[in-house]
Structures are given as C-alpha cells and as structure tokens.
Amino acid sequence: MPHATRRAALRATLRDRELDALLVTNLLNIRYLTGFTGSNAALLVSAESDAASVFCTDGRYLTQAERQVPDLERVIDRPCDLALAQRAHKDGNRRAGFESNHVTVEGLDALADAAEDVELVRAPGLVEQLRLVKDDAEVEALRMACAAADRALASLIEHGGLRAGRTEREIARELENRMLDHGAAGPSFESIVATGANSAVPHHRPTDAVVHAGDFVKLDFGALVDGYHSDMTRTLVVGQAADWQRELYELVAASQAAGRHALAAGAAVSDVDRAAREVIEQAGYGEQFLHGLGHGVGLQIHEAPALSKVGDGTLLPGMTVTVEPGVYLAGKGGVRIEDTLVVRQGAPELLTLTTKELVVV
C-alpha cells in the first residue's frame, strides 16, 4: 500500500519546516495518507516516524479503522481533532502544524486549549502539495474511472440512449446508471447533458428539455472509482450535422489537440492554456471561450493545478489534468471536448479513450 510512502514524504516536509508533527483534519487528506474512508477522523503525523504517529476516529468506525489503518496506532475518541491535539502535548511536541485552510476560528481556539503549551503553526496545503503528483496506485484508479466512463458512453450510444425525443434528464440518469454497471461507485459529479441551445451553457444542469434532430448534445460526466474522479466531455449531433456544426466542432477539436500537445513536464500551465486558446482566438471566437483550459483531477473533481491564463506554476510528471476547450454560441449551441491525461516526460498519457471524431447518432 502506498500510504506509508506518502506519510514518509510528508515527514520530510515537516522536518524541513521544523515541525514536530502535523495535525491532519481534512478527510480527503486523511484518506490519501491512510486509506480511511469514514466520515469522522483526524491524524497526527509525527516528523519522527510512523511509530510516533496516531490515527483517531470514533466508535462507529472501530472495525473499519482496524481494516483500513492497520499500520498506525489507533485511538477511539471524539472530537478527534481535540483528542490528537492533547496527544501532541502528551507526546512532548513543541511545534505542531495544523491545516489552517480547513480549521475555523472557533476550531483553532479549541485546538489551542487542547494542545496547551504546544505551539500551533499554520501549515496550509502541505498534503495537497503532495497530492499534486499522482503515484502509480492513484493513476491506476484514475484509469479505471476513465474506463468506466468510456464504456458507459459507448453502451449508451450502442443501445440507442441518445436519440431525438428523449429529455436531458433521461439521458443523464441512464448515463450515470451505465457507469455503475461498468464498475463505478457513482458519478464524479452531477452529469451535464445539454441539448440544442443549452449546449452553449458551459455548466448547464439537465432539464426536461427534449432532444431534437439536428441538435448538438453536450455530455460532461465522469465516474468515481476508489475515491478517484474521471472527467470527460464529448459533444455529439443527433440526426444530421449542419455545416456550421462541423466547422465549430473542428475548431474546438484543433484547439484541444493543441492543448494536449503542449501538455508536457516543465511547461508553464499558462502556456498550455495559451496554446489551445490561440487557436480559437485566431478563428475569431476568443470571447466565446469562457473558462480556463483545464484543472487537476484526483480525490477531488477539481484540484490543482489550474490550466488557465492566470494559472501559476509548471507541470510535473505524474500530474493528472483535464484539457477542455470550448466555444459557446449563445442561443445557438456550443462544443466542448475534454480528456483526462497524465503528464509524462514525453507525450502525455491519455486516460479517456472515447473517439474525438464528431459522432452523429
């Protein structure tokens, strides 16, 4: 299991920060570091060793914690954060970091009281920084999530689920059910199904709008596997595609290809966005590309890094991101094409394998 390796990497960061321990209270970060999937927990990671680290949950999760966190000392108590703050004091920690981006003002006061003479140091984003680069186990979970989404869409099309006369809600429900059939624990997020003029709304929510022949149908969806999220958008045409639809689709496809080709280790995230955005701007549709090019995906559907004009930082091997340009013609229709990819030393690894050719059903 990779959790001990992840904690070891965090310990190195704590020593660099001259922290004796880190109190982790964000449940996703706890899952990343331990594998625990319950709804109540805290984790005190010692800069010294796993032997000095402590995991806490409440009695509802006694058996689950024994199974999922067998390699750490386990404490059954609540509230867990205060119990571990007291433990930090008992164990003689002088300086303990805490996830200040996940703690309220009142929560900090309570932690300070529980920790007594331990100096509590704001330490936001330390675990999230580790989560930027996915290890092999994470990438494999993402592969399975993307495969479940790919198979669900293929099955939906094969069985006639995308056709004139159906509503956006009906298609969304069937698509999500098919992801479950193909191994997903659930959808990554509320699926977007947008037909006709609704396809020009970037984050349209499915309604009872009916699909008509000649409509664009935009599908933005993903599958959840082992806590990891996939994300994919495909835009199709029902019936027969008009010339303007093919032209718009080809433009977005060219932009998306440019973004994928720019996705390389060492590239600035803003440069990747620029590579895709320039294709659309040169065609005169810059104002109709209404969002950033992409985002990180993992234990959250939206994670760092952000691929955008104002994004900061460079890409590292193992980062997993989306590339999803779009052009949206209000009142008429829009196209978005999105893939999930892993940044590699050479070309990126494509995880969403559904064709990007214009599909007419």
pTM for the structure as a whole: 0.95
pLDDT at 263: 97
Given this model, what pLDDT does residue 356 score? 98
What was the pLDDT predicted at 14? 98
At 221 the pLDDT is 98
- Give pLDDT, residue 132: 98
Residue found by looking up tokens 């720019």 in the block: 262
Q: Quote the pLDDT of residue 94.
A: 96
DSSP E strands in 169-319: the ranges are: 186-187, 192-195, 216-221, 223-225, 228-229, 232-237, 294-296, 303-307
Parallel, antiparallel, or unpaired for β 186-187 and 223-225?
A: antiparallel
User: Would you write out the chain's pLDDT as a tens digit for each of its 361 residues?
Assistant: 699 999 999 999 999 999 999 999 999 999 999 999 999 999 999 999 999 999 999 999 999 999 999 999 999 999 999 999 999 999 999 999 999 999 999 999 999 999 999 999 999 999 999 999 999 999 999 999 999 999 999 999 999 999 999 999 999 999 999 999 999 999 999 999 999 999 999 999 999 999 999 999 999 999 999 999 999 999 999 999 999 999 999 999 999 999 999 999 999 999 999 999 999 999 999 999 999 999 999 999 999 999 999 999 999 999 999 999 999 999 999 999 999 999 999 999 999 999 999 999 9
| Selection from 289, 327, 282 nearest residue 307 by Cα | 289
Are the C-beta atoms of 191 and 171 separated by less than 8 Å? no
Domains of the chain (ranges; CATH) run 3-131 (3.40.350.10), 136-350 (3.90.230.10)
Look at residue 312 and give its three-state secondary structure.
coil
The 3-state DSSP class for residue 279 equals: helix
Tokens representing residue 336 in the block: 């978005």
Report how far residue 300's alpha carbon sits from residue 128's, in angstroms, rounded to the nearest whole number. 11
For the record, the structure tokens of 347 come out as: 């070309």
What residue type is 109 in one-letter code? D
What is the secondary structure of 36-80 as a DSSP string?
A: --SSS-EEEEESS-GGG-EEEE-GGGHHHHHHH-TTSEEEE-SSH
Q: How does 238-272 read in b/e, with b if 16+ C-beta sit within 10 Å?
A: beebeeebeebbebbbbbbbbbbebbbeeeebbeb
Strand duo 223-225 + 216-221: pairing: unpaired
Q: Measure Cα distances from 185 to 245, 285, 287, 350, 359 in Å.
A: 35, 38, 38, 22, 28
Please give the Cα distance from 344 to 319 (Å, whole number): 8
| Burial per residue of 146-176, b for 16 or more beta-carbon CB atoms within 10 angstroms, e otherwise | bbbbbbbbebbbeeebbeeebbbebbbebbb
